[in-house]
C-alpha cells in the first residue's frame, strides 16, 4: 500500500459474515483457502457480530483464534474498524471522542490477540467534531504503538482532504486510505441496501481526489452483492433488495459490456466487475465477501485479469 510498508494482496477478504452467516469452522476453511490462494489482507470491525449473543461469536475473536491456531501473526494484515455508533442507538450518536476510539481499539487488540493493529479504520465520522481533533487521537495511538497505519471509512472527500492538509502541515503522512461504498454497479441512492444515512458513497469528487493524490481506495460493497452475476443467472428475478438497489439503465449497459468481455475472455462477469476496480490509475483494494470457496476462487481470479481489457473495451472510469 502506498506510503506504507504493507505488501497487500489486491483483493481484501471481508469478515462481516464471520460468526454471523458463517460458522467458525467454515470461516477457518475460508481463511485457509484465501491465504492458500495468495491472499493476505483481511477486513473486519469491532461492531461485526456484536448483535449476536455471546462475544465469542464476533468476527474479530474468530479471526484472532484463526491467527493463533495457524500461527499467522505477521504473515497477514488484518484491518479492523472502530468508532461505530452503538447498534441499538436509533439516533446514530457519533462515538469519536478519544476515549471512545481508545475503548474500541483496546477491545479489538484483545479480540485479535495482538499488541498492535497494522491498519485501523474509523468506521464512521462525526462531522460536528473537528477532523483535526480526530486525527490527533489517531496519531497519539500510533505513537503509543497501538496502531501502525490508519484510514477513514464513510468520510467525505472534504473531510479527508482537511485531514491530509493538517497532517502534511506537520510533516506527517495520513490518512493512508479511504473506504467508502463503491462498485462497478452504480447505486440507486434512494434504495441502497443499507439505508444508513451515515454511509458515504464513492462519487466523482472522491475519484478525482484519489487520481490527484494517489491515495488508495479500499471500497466496501465492491461486488454489489453479486448484482451482475445475479443479473446473468436470474435476470430481473434476482433477490428484490438487490434489484431495487442496483437495477437501472446504467448498470444494464455495463452488464452488456461485461457479458461481451466474458465471452471473449472466459472470465465470469463477477470476477470482471472486481477487476474493473483494479484497473484504476490509483491503488484499489476491493473488500469482497464470500460464503464458500467457490465464490472465493471467483473473486481471487480478478487479480489475474489483464486490466488493459477495460481501456480497450471502452468501459467507464467511474
Domain count, the chain: 1
In a domain, 318, yes or no: no
CA angle 41, 297, 264 (to 5 degrees): 120
> Cα separation of 305 and 265, whole Å?
9
Q: What is the pLDDT of residues 107-160, one digit of tens each?
A: 999 999 999 999 999 999 999 999 999 999 999 999 999 999 999 999 999 999
In a domain, 178, yes or no: yes
- 113 in the Ramachandran plot: left (φ > 0), alpha (ψ -120 to 50) or beta? left
pLDDT band at 166 (very low <50, low <70, confident <90, very high): very high
pLDDT band at 230 (very low <50, low <70, confident <90, very high): very high
Q: What is the pLDDT of residues 77-111, one digit of tens each?
A: 999 999 999 988 999 999 999 999 999 999 999 99
In a domain, 94, yes or no: yes
In a domain, 5, yes or no: no
**Overall pTM surpassing 0.95 (yes/no):** yes
In a domain, 307, yes or no: yes
Say which CATH number the domain at 172 has: 3.20.20.100
If you search the block for the grid coordinates 497532517, which residue do you land on? 167
* Average pLDDT of every residue of the chain: 96
Is there a contact between 119 and 151 (Cβ–Cβ < 8 Å)?
yes
DSSP β-bridge partners for residue 14 = 43
Model pLDDT, residue 314:
85
- Provide the domain limits for residue 56: 12-312
Amino acid at each position: 500500500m502506498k506510503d506504507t510498508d504493507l505488501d497487500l494482496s489486491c483483493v481484501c477478504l471481508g469478515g462481516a459474515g464471520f460468526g454471523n452467516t458463517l460458522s467458525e469452522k467454515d470461516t477457518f476453511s475460508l481463511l485457509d483457502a484465501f491465504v492458500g490462494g495468495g491472499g493476505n489482507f483481511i477486513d473486519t470491525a469491532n461492531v461485526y457480530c456484536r448483535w449476536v449473543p455471546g462475544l465469542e461469536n464476533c468476527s474479530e475473536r474468530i479471526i484472532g483464534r484463526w491467527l493463533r491456531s495457524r500461527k499467522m501473526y505477521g504473515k497477514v494484515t488484518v484491518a479492523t474498524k472502530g468508532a461505530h455508533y452503538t447498534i441499538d442507538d436509533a439516533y446514530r450518536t457519533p462515538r469519536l471522542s478519544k476515549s471512545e476510539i481508545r475503548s474500541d481499539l483496546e477491545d479489538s487488540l484483545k479480540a485479535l490477540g495482538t499488541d498492535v493493529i497494522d491498519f485501523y479504520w474509523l468506521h464512521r465520522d462525526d462531522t460536528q467534531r473537528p477532523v483535526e481533533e480526530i486525527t490527533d487521537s489517531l496519531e497519539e495511538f500510533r505513537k503509543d504503538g497501538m496502531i501502525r497505519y490508519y484510514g477513514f471509512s464513510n468520510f467525505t472527500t472534504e473531510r479527508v482532504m482537511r485531514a491530509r492538509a493538517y497532517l502534511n502541515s506537520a510533516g506527517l503522512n495520513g490518512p493512508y486510505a479511504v473506504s467508502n461504498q463503491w462498485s462497478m454497479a452504480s447505486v440507486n441512492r434512494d434504495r441502497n441496501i443499507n439505508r444508513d444515512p451515515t454511509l458515504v458513497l464513492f462519487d466523482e469528487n472522491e475519484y478525482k481526489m484519489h487520481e490527484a493524490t494517489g491515495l488508495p481506495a479500499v471500497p466496501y460493497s465492491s461486488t454489489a452483492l453479486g448484482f451482475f452475476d445475479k443479473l446473468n443467472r436470474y435476470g430481473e428475478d434476482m433477490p428484490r433488495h438487490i434489484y431495487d438497489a442496483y437495477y437501472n439503465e446504467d448498470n444494464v449497459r455495463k452488464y452488456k459490456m461485461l457479458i461481451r468481455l466474458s465471452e471473449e475472455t472466459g472470465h465470469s462477469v463477477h470476477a470482471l466487475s472486481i477487476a474493473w476496480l483494479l484497473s484504476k490509475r490509483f491503488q484499489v483494494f476491493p473488500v469482497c465477501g464470500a460464503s464458500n470457496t467457490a465464490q472465493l476462487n471467483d473473486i481471487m481470479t480478478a487479480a489475474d485479469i489483464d486490466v488493459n481489457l477495460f481501456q480497450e473495451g471502452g468501459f467507464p472510469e467511474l
